[in-house]
C-alpha cells in the first residue's frame, strides 16, 4: 500500500494551520495510527521532530522504503545505551545509520573483544522489553556542554564545539545522546537485531586522532527479515573476493604497496578478458582509444580545478624546480588532446576512450581488497559534442552500461541522478541545462531513476548506476557526467555551421568504473564460479597415471588449438584428490585420462557442480566446450 501524502501548513500570524515548532506527532493528530515518521523534500522526520515549514509530507510506516533509516539509527542508540550500562566509563563517539545497518564508535579505555558482543546484545534486549519512548529535546550549546561535561563525554563535547545553532538530544530511559535524529517512536519496535563485528576506526575518520572501537550491527522489523539478512551476510562471507581471489591465485596485496593489487597469471587473464570485451565495443560505438601520461604538471590541475577541489586525494612529485601531480583522473589529458586542433561541427561528437591508470589517495582504514584501492584502472571516456547532441550521447552511454553489465550476467540496477553540490564550479544556468539533459536521457531510454540531491561532481551532475548482484547486494560502478565547465576553463571550441567558434559540451563516462572494483564485484557475483568464457582456467587435464602423460600433452595441445585455456595436473596424486583440488580451484571442466581413454583417443569429462558426463571422443568433447564457451559469452 503506497504511503499516504498529506499537506502540513505551518501557522501564519492569523493562527491558521499547524503552529511552527509543533512536532510531527502533534501535527498528525488522528492520522497517527501506524505512522513512525515522514519524508518531505528528501528529509526524514520522526514523530518527535518539529515541523517548521509548510509542505507535502509522505507518511511512513515500518514497511516504508526509507523507514529503515530511522530504524537503524535508533538501533545504534540502543547499542550505545547498552554499552554505557555495561561499561559506564566508555566514551561515546558517533552512531549513524548506514547501508543495511548501523554502527557506533566507542572509546572503552580497555579494549573489548568480539566475545563481549553477545553480552551487549542481552542488555539491548532488556531495553527493547522496557519499550522506552524516544523523546526529543532542544537545548542551547551551553546547556549541552554542561550536560555532556557532567557525563564525562569528551568526544560529544568536541562535536558540540563545532555547533553554534540550537542542539537536539534524544532520550530513552536513563540514556541521552547528542543527535539530530530522526528516530522511531520507542525502543520496543527494535526487537530483531544482531551485532555483527568489532573493528578499529579513527575518531572522525582522521588517522591523527585516537583509534576507537566500532561495533557494527543490523536490525529489522521482523524476525524473518533479520534472518534473511544474516543468511545473505553468510553467503557474502563465502563469496568474499579477497578469500576467493587468494584461493584461486588471482591477486595478492603487499604492505609495500598499500591499496595496489598484484595480479597473478590467472588474475591477468581475467583482467584482460574483461578489459578486452569492453575494448571490443569501443570502435563499434564510435570511440578512438588514447593513452595519456601518468604524471602532469601542477598548472594543468590548477586550470582544471582539481587543485582546489581534489588536492587531498592526489599524489605529487617535483623535478627540475617544477611541480607535478600523479593523475587522479584522465579527463584533463583528453581535454589537451581535443585542444590540439580545430574541429568542425560535422566532426562532432568526438569520443576519446582510455583504459587509464590513475592514483587516488584513500585513507588506509578505508582500503578494502579490490573494492577500495589507490591504484585504479579506469575504463574512461570523454565525449565532446554540441549541445543539441547532448541527450543522444547520454542515451548511448546509458544503453552501453546495460549492454556491458548484461554480458556479465548483471541486469538489475538502481539509478540515481546526482545534482549540484554546494562545493561546485560553473553557472546555475549551465547546471540547469546539464541536469535537465541527463533527466531527459534517462526518461527517453525508459529507465526509472531517483534524485540524489547535492551528490554531483564539483564540475557537473551525474548518473550513478548501482548494479544488483546474484545475492541482492547493490554496487555503485558506472557513472555518466555532463560538464560545461571544463570546456570553458580550457577554452575549447568547434566551428559551427555559421562558421563561428562555439563551445562544445563534455561528457565523462566510466562503464566499469574502476576495473579493479568491477572485478571484485564480479568475483563475488559469481563466487569465483565463472561462466566458461570468463574462467581463467577452463579445463584441467587429469592423467590417472604417469603412463598417460604423453596423451595428456596431446589433449592439452588440442585444447589450446581450439582456443581453450587449460593445464595438466601431472602430480603423483590419486585421481580423487586431483578432482577435489580442481573443484576447489573452481575449474569448470576436468578431463580425466586413463589407459582406455589414451588407447581410444577419448576423454572422461567432468563438469564442476554436475559430476561425471561420461566418456567421449576427444573431438566431440572439445566441440561441447567450445559451444558452451561461445554460449556463455553471449549472456546479454
Report the C-alpha gap between 112 and 94 in whole angstroms: 18
Beta bridge partners of 604: 592, 615
Q: Which of 241, 462, 525, 586 is catalytic?
A: 462
Q: Which of 49, 379, 380, 464 is catalytic?
A: 380
Residues 6 or more apart whose CB falls under 8 angstroms from that of 479 comprise 462, 463, 464, 465, 508, 509, 510, 513
State the DSSP code for 503. P
What tens digit of pLDDT does each residue of 596-618 get? Answer: 999 999 999 999 989 999 999 99
Q: Which of 81, 153, 172, 378 is catalytic?
A: 378
What tens digit of pLDDT does each residue of 396-415 get? Answer: 999 999 999 999 988 888 89
Q: Which of 91, 239, 306, 331 is catalytic?
A: 331
In 309-342, which positions are buried (b, 16+ CB within 10 angstroms) versus exposed (e)? Answer: bbeeebeeeeeeeeebbbbbbbbbbbbebbeeee
- All structural domains of the chain with their residue ranges: 5-60, 67-239, 256-292+327-526, 532-632
Q: Which of 374, 382, 407, 517 is catalytic?
A: 382
The verdict on whether 240 is a catalytic residue reads no
Report the C-alpha gap between 470 and 47 in whole angstroms: 37
Fold assignment, 5-60: Ubiquitin-like (UB roll) (3.10.20)
pLDDT of residue 410: 87
pLDDT of residue 339: 95
Q: How many residues does the chain have?
A: 636
Q: Is the distance from CB of 195 to CB of 120 less than 8 angstroms?
A: yes
The verdict on whether 508 is a catalytic residue reads yes
Determine the longest span between alpha carbons in the chain, in angstroms. 101
Phi, psi of 574 (to 5 degrees): -65, 150
* CA geometry: angle 537, 539, 544, nearest 5 deg: 130
The verdict on whether 569 is a catalytic residue reads no
The verdict on whether 407 is a catalytic residue reads no
Look at residue 135 and give its three-state secondary structure: strand
The verdict on whether 291 is a catalytic residue reads no
Q: Which CATH superfamily is domain 256-292+327-526 in?
A: Bira Bifunctional Protein; Domain 2 (3.30.930.10)
Phi, psi of 509 (to 5 degrees): -150, 145
CATH placement of domain 532-632? 3.40.50.800
CATH placement of domain 67-239? 3.30.980.10
Whether the domain at 67-239 and the domain at 256-292+327-526 fall into the same CATH topology: no
- Please name the residue ranges forming H helices in 471-594: 485-489, 515-526, 549-561, 575-584
SS (H, E, C) 294-358: CEEEHHHHHHHCHHHHCHHHCEEEEECCEEEEECCCCHHHHHHHHCCCCEEHHHCCEEEEEEEEE
Q: Which of 73, 77, 192, 508 is catalytic?
A: 508
Report the C-alpha gap between 477 and 410 in whole angstroms: 12
The verdict on whether 560 is a catalytic residue reads no
Report the C-alpha gap between 213 and 194 in whole angstroms: 17
Task: Please provide the DSSP assignment of 10-29 as one string.
Answer: B--TT--SBPTT-BHHHHHG
The verdict on whether 382 is a catalytic residue reads yes
pLDDT along the chain (636 residues), means of 10: 72 45 75 79 83 83 86 96 96 92 94 94 97 92 91 92 83 94 92 93 82 94 94 91 94 94 96 94 94 95 87 92 94 95 96 95 86 93 95 95 91 89 84 93 93 84 89 86 90 96 95 93 93 96 94 96 95 94 94 94 93 94 94 67
State the DSSP code for 257. S
User: Which three three-digit cell numbers place residue 164?
Assistant: 553554534
Report the C-alpha gap between 390 and 446 in whole angstroms: 17
Amino acid at each position: 500500500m503506497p504511503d499516504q501524502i498529506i499537506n502540513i501548513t505551518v501557522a501564519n500570524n492569523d493562527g491558521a494551520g499547524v503552529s511552527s515548532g509543533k512536532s510531527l506527532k502533534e501535527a498528525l493528530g488522528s492520522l497517527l495510527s501506524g505512522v513512525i515518521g515522514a519524508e518531505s523534500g528528501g528529509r526524514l522526520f520522526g514523530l518527535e521532530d518539529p515541523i517548521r515549514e509548510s509542505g507535502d509530507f509522505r507518511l511512513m510506516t515500518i514497511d516504508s522504503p526509507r523507514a529503515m533509516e530511522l530504524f537503524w539509527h535508533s538501533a545504534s542508540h540502543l547499542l550505545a545505551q547498552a554499552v554505557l550500562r555495561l561499561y559506564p566509563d566508555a566514551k561515546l563517539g558517533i552512531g549513524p545509520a548506514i547501508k543495511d545497518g548501523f554502527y557506533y564508535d566507542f572509546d572503552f579505555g580497555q579494549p573489548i573483544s568480539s566475545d563481549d558482543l553477545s553480552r551487549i546484545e542481552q542488555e539491548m534486549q532488556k531495553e527493547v522489553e522496557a519499550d522506552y519512548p524516544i523523546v526529543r529535546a532542544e537545548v542551547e550549546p551551553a546547556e549541552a556542554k554542561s550536560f555532556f561535561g557532567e557525563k564525562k563525554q569528551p568526544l560529544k563535547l568536541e562535536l558540540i564545539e563545532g555547533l553554534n545553532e540550537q542542539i537536539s538530544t534524544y532520550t530513552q530511559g536513563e540514556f541521552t545522546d547528542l543527535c539530530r535524529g530522526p528516530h522511531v517512536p520507542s525502543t520496543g519496535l527494535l526487537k530483531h537485531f544482531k551485532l555483527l563485528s568489532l573493528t578499529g576506526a579513527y575518531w572522525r575518520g582522521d588517522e591523527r586522532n585516537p583509534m576507537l572501537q566500532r561495533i557494527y550491527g543490523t536490525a529489522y522489523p521482523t524476525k524473518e527479515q533479520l534472518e534473511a539478512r544474516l543468511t545473505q551476510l553468510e553467503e557474502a562471507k563465502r563469496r568474499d573476493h579477497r578469500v576467493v581471489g587468494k584461493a584461486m591465485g588471482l591477486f595478492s596485496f603487499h604492505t609495500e604497496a598499500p591499496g595496489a593489487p598484484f595480479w597473478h597469471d590467472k588474475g591477468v587473464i581475467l583482467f584482460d578478458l574483461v578489459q578486452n570485451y569492453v575494448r571490443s565495443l569501443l570502435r563499434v560505438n564510435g570511440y578512438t582509444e588514447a593513452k595519456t601520461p601518468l604524471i602532469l604538471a601542477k598548472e594543468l590541475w590548477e586550470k582544471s580545478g582539481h587543485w582546489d577541489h581534489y588536492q587531498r586525494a592526489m599524489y605529487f612529485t617535483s623535478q627540475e624546480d617544477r611541480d607535478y601531480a600523479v593523475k587522479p583522473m584522465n579527463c584533463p589529458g583528453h581535454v589537451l588532446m581535443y585542444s590540439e586542433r580545430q574541429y568542425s561541427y560535422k566532426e562532432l561528437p568526438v569520443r576519446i576512450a582510455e583504459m587509464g591508470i590513475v592514483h587516488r589517495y584513500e585513507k588506509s582504514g578505508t582500503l578494502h581488497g579490490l573494492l577500495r584501492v589507490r591504484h585504479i584502472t579506469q575504463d574512461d571516456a570523454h565525449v565532446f559534442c554540441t549541445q543539441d547532441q547532448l541527450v543522444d550521447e547520454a542515451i548511448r552511454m546509458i544503453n552501453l552500461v546495460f549492454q556491458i553489465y548484461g554480458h556479465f550476467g548483471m541486469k538489475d540496477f538502481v539509478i540515481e541522478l546526482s545534482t549540484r553540490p554546494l562545493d561546485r564550479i560553473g553557472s546555475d544556468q549551465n547546471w540547469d541545462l546539464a541536469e535537465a539533459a541527463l533527466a531527459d536521457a534517462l526518461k527517453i531510454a525508459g529507465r526509472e531513476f531517483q534524485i540524489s540531491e547535492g551528490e554531483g561532481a564539483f564540475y557537473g551532475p551525474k548518473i550513478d548506476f548501482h548494479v544488483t548482484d546474484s545475492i541482492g547486494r547493490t554496487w555503485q560502478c558506472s557513472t555518466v557526467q555532463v560538464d560545461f565547465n571544463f570546456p570553458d576553463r580550457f577554452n575549447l571550441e568547434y566551428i559551427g555551421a555559421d562558421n563561428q567558434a562555439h563551445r562544445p559540451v563534455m561528457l565523462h563516462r566510466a562503464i566499469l568504473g574502476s576495473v579493479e572494483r568491477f572485478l571484485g564485484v564480479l568475483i563475488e557475483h559469481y563466487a569465483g564460479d565463472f561462466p566458461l568464457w570468463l574462467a581463467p582456467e577452463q579445463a584441467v587435464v587429469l592423467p590417472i597415471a604417469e603412463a598417460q602423460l604423453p596423451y595428456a600433452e596431446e589433449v592439452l595441445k588440442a585444447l589450446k588449438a581450439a582456443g581453450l585455456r587449460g593445464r595438466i595436473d601431472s602430480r603423483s596424486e590419486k585421481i580423487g584428490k586431483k578432482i577435489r583440488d580442481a573443484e576447489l580451484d573452481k575449474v569448470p571442466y576436468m578431463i580425466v585420462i586413463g589407459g582406455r581413454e589414451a588407447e581410444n583417443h577419448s576423454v572422461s569429462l567432468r563438469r564442476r557442480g554436475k559430476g561425471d558426463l561420461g566418456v567421449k571422443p576427444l573431438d566431440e568433447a572439445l566441440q561441447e566446450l567450445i559451444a558452451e564457451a561461445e554460449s556463455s559469452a553471449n549472456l546479454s
